[in-house]
Amino acid sequence: MAVALLLNRVFRRRKKKSTESISTYAVYEFDFDTIKAATNKFSNLIGRGGFGSVYKGRLQSGQDIAVKIYFTSSIRAEREFHNQLDILSKLRHKNLINLLSFCTKRDQHCLVYEFMPNSSLDRFILDPHRASQLSWEMCRNIVDGIACGLRYLHEESGSWVVHRDIKPSKILLDSDLKPKIVGFGLARMMQQGQNEAESTEIVGTVGYLDPEYMRSGRVSVKSDVYAFGVTILTIISRREVWSVDGDTLIEYVMRCWNRGEAIDVIHEVMREEEREDSISEILRYIHIALLCIDEDAETRPSIDKVLHWFSCFSSPLPEPFIGNRFLAEEETYRSWSLSLSPGHSSLMSPISSR
C-alpha cells in the first residue's frame, strides 16, 4: 500500500514548557504500530547515541527508513526531539536529510528519516580501506554539496538556521555518495536579517567550535563557516582533529602552510594518485578552508562567497591570516579538552577572554 494511504496530513500544535513557543509541525505523523511494523519490532539497530537509538526499517511502499527513538526520560533528549522536528519540518533541500514523519504516541518520541546507505562521512574518510575509494572528484562533490546545504540554511530557507555542530559525523552519504546534513538537535533559527544572537550556552563539538563563539557566547552563521573549514581539512587530510603527531589538525595545517608545504596536508594516497591539476585544486580548497577558520569571525567569508571561490578557479583568494594569536586559541581548546570529549557534541556555559 502506498505511503499516502498509510498517512494523514496533520498540523500538530503542541504546547511546550513556558520557555518554549507553540510549534506547528507540518509533516506526516505515523502511529506507533506502523513504525513498529516497519522496523520489524525494532530488530535492526544501526546506531546509538546519548539521546536515543536508531533502527533501520522499510515502509510498505518499499522505501527504506531510519527511525530514531528518543529516551523520553531525558530533558535534553526531549529538547533535541522538538528542535529537530520544529526545524526539519520547515526545510527541504537535496543536501539536507529528509524528515519523513514523527510519532509521539504511547510515550514514545520517534523521528523517521530517509535511510542513507553509506552511513556518515567520518566512517569513510577515517577508514583506510573506504577512504582509498574516495577520489578527489568525489571529495570535491561532497564538500561542494555540504556548502550548498549550508547556504540554504543560512540564506535561502527563509528560516535563517545556524546548525552549530557541522562535522563529518553529521554528514550522511546516499547511494551516490551525495552528502546530506543531519543532526539539527543543537541548531538555532535566527530572526530575519539577524546575523548573530546571544546564546546562554555554548554547544557544539570541541575541535570544530568557533573560538570567537566560545569566548563571547554569540552564535552566528560564521560559526558554521568555521566548522565547515575544519571539515574540509579533515576530508583532505583524512585525519582526526586531535591526533596529528601531538598537534591539533589546525596547528599541523598552519605549520605546513607557513613552511610552504601545504601539499603535505593532502593524504598520501590522494597525493600519489591524483593528477597535477587536481592537486592544484586541492591546494586551493586548503587555502579556502584556512580563510574559513580565520580567528576573526568578521573577516571569514560567507558560505555564498566560498561557493563562488569553489566554482571560479580564476578568482583570486586573499591571504589567510596566521598569527601568534591563533596558536593561543589552540591553547584555549586544549584547556577545554581536559573536561570535554573531543569529537563529541558538548554543552557548556559561555566563557570570556576579557
Q: Would you list the DSSP string of 239-272? A: --TT-BTTB-HHHHHHHHHHTT-GGGGS-HHHHH
Nearest to 188 by CA among 96, 74, 84: 84
Determine the residue type at 245: D
- Asked whether residue 68 is marked as a ligand-binding residue, the answer is yes
Beta-strand runs (E) in the chain: 8-9, 12-14, 23-25, 28-29, 45-48, 52-58, 64-70, 99-103, 109-114, 161-162, 171-173, 179-181, 188-189, 196-198, 202-205, 218-220, 345-348
**Would residue 165 show up in a list of annotated catalytic residues for this protein?**
yes
Distance CA 155, CA 144 (A): 16
User: Of 31, 107, 144, 165, which is the active-site residue?
Assistant: 165
Count other C-beta atoms under 10 Å from residue 54's C-beta: 17
Distance CA 52, CA 47 (A): 9
Nearest to 151 by CA among 291, 287, 308: 308
Beta strands 23-25; 52-58: pairing state: unpaired
Sort 93 into a burial class: Cβ within 10 Å, 0-12 / 13-18 / 19+: middle
Cell numbers 540554511 label which residue?
A: 153
Determine the residue type at 75: I
Determine the residue type at 61: S
Question: Who contacts 138 (Cβ-Cβ below 8 Å, separation ≥6)?
Answer: 177
- Annotated binding-site positions for ATP: 68
- Annotated binding-site positions: 68
Catalytic residues: 165
